Amino acid sequence: MSRRDSFADDPLTNHLKQALVAADRALTCVWLTLTSDSVAELAAGAGFDCVLIDGEHSPSDIDTVKRQLMAAQCAGSPVVVRTPVNETWMIKRFM
């Protein structure tokens, strides 16, 4: 079973967290500053362990990040989002 298949089989399990805890290999993540959901889907399908959407160094708004999240998750990759500012109200909006 490939890594991508295991993500699709059980969407409620945090596979990225499990891989970090196992620490049996170095993990690779792709860092996205582009605001394209198509790029997020391509990056998610490229075989990285996760996709990181950078809201701090890109012109992403919440709707853009939402589309990128959906595209990356459909491709079977876990996603980490970096918010534009480290403020409680902003973090809540991205949750």
Active-site residue list: 57
Distance CA 16, CA 39 (A): 21
The letter for the amino acid at 4 is R
